[in-house]
A and B are shown apart, each in its own frame.
Chain A
Amino acid sequence: MEETKVKKFDLEDTLKKIFIILAVILLIISVWGVYTSLNELISIWIGYKYAPIYRTLLNLAVLVLAIYVLNLLVRKR
């Protein structure tokens, strides 16, 4: 009886982990998609002479966001 309980718990835990991994993969794909779309948007709507300024701003925004998220994660630990 106890063995089945332990097995059920393990299965739930594994499924949870799989779903978390799937969600993280989807998150990475969508973030990458948004990043490339923004870059494309810049090359279409902003002239070639100003595009590097906008690309720098975009990368800076991504950098600041990444540092903020890392800061939050480290502080929680």
Chain B
Amino acid sequence: MKIGSTKREIIVALKERSKTVSELSRELKLAKPSIYKHLIILKSYGVVERMTNGNRFVYYRLTEKGRKVLDLVLSVVISTLSSILAYVFAQGFQDFQDVQVKQVRYAGGMLPQPIPTPLISHFPHSPSYSKSPTMAAILAFIFIFIITFFSFKLYRDYRINNKI
């Protein structure tokens, strides 16, 4: 199942309650035929279902499979944002250290050369704050994905068991 950005937005928009095509069109600022086309595709995947409640309005809501997809989408979004944040932080600290080293180097050439810090240091109190921004981002993604994905699952189970 391939889910593009519009379909992902529709799934997130249907998170709280069922909505009509007009409501989704207003919320996502997209034309009704376009929303309808995406809804038909999502319906064929079994992610959303069509329902009527007596009046002439047709509502769309997430199925159980749709809720699982929503959990996955939200977990991926949250963990991606966290990993970007971790990468930026780690990169920022590396740049800061580089600037500090350069300042020492160009201080009139009178100061001794700084001792280069190894990339991988086994010393517990290495002067380097962040050794690999990429690794920091990967680890952040893995840990936060596991935490959010299983927390969403637990929360959904709790809601189902207590019929909230």
Task: Please list the residues of chain A having a beta carbon within 8 angstroms of any beta carbon in chain B.
Answer: 41-50, 54, 57-58, 60-61, 64-65, 67-68, 71, 75
Residues from chain A with Cβ under 8 Å of B140 in the complex: 54, 57
- Within 96-153 of B, Cβ neighbours of A (below 8 Å) are at 120, 122, 124-126, 128-132, 135-136, 139-140, 142-144, 146-147, 150-151, 153
CB distance from B26 to the nearest CB of A (A): 37
B60 interface residue, CB < 8 Å from A? Answer: no
Q: Could you write out 25 A-B pairs with CB less than 8 Å apart?
A: A43-B124, A46-B130, A46-B132, A46-B139, A47-B93, A47-B126, A47-B131, A48-B124, A48-B125, A49-B130, A50-B90, A50-B130, A50-B136, A54-B136, A54-B139, A57-B147, A60-B143, A60-B147, A64-B147, A64-B150, A65-B146, A67-B150, A67-B154, A68-B150, A71-B157
A57 and B143 form a contact (CB under 8 A): yes
Task: Please list the residues of chain B having a beta carbon within 8 angstroms of any beta carbon in chain A.
Answer: 89-90, 93, 120, 122, 124-126, 128-132, 135-136, 139-140, 142-144, 146-147, 150-151, 153-154, 157
Residues from chain A with Cβ under 8 Å of B125 in the complex: 48
Residues from chain B with Cβ under 8 Å of A61 in the complex: 142-143, 146-147
**A interface SS class:** helix
**A45 partner, pick from B89, B129, B139, beta carbons under 8 A:** B139
A-B contact count (CB 8 A): 68
B129 and A50 form a contact (CB under 8 A): yes
Rounded to whole angstroms, the CA-CA distance of A75 and B154 in the bound complex is: 12
Rounded to whole angstroms, the CA-CA distance of A74 and B122 in the bound complex is: 43
List 11 additional contacts besides A54-B139, A64-B150, A67-B150; criterion CB under 8 Å: A41-B139, A45-B135, A46-B135, A47-B129, A49-B130, A50-B129, A50-B136, A54-B136, A54-B140, A61-B143, A61-B146
Residues from chain B with Cβ under 8 Å of A45 in the complex: 120, 131-132, 135-136, 139
B128 and A47 form a contact (CB under 8 A): yes
Residues from chain B with Cβ under 8 Å of A49 in the complex: 129-130
B122 and A47 form a contact (CB under 8 A): no
The 4 closest A-B pairs by CB, nearest first: A45-B135, A57-B143, A47-B129, A61-B146
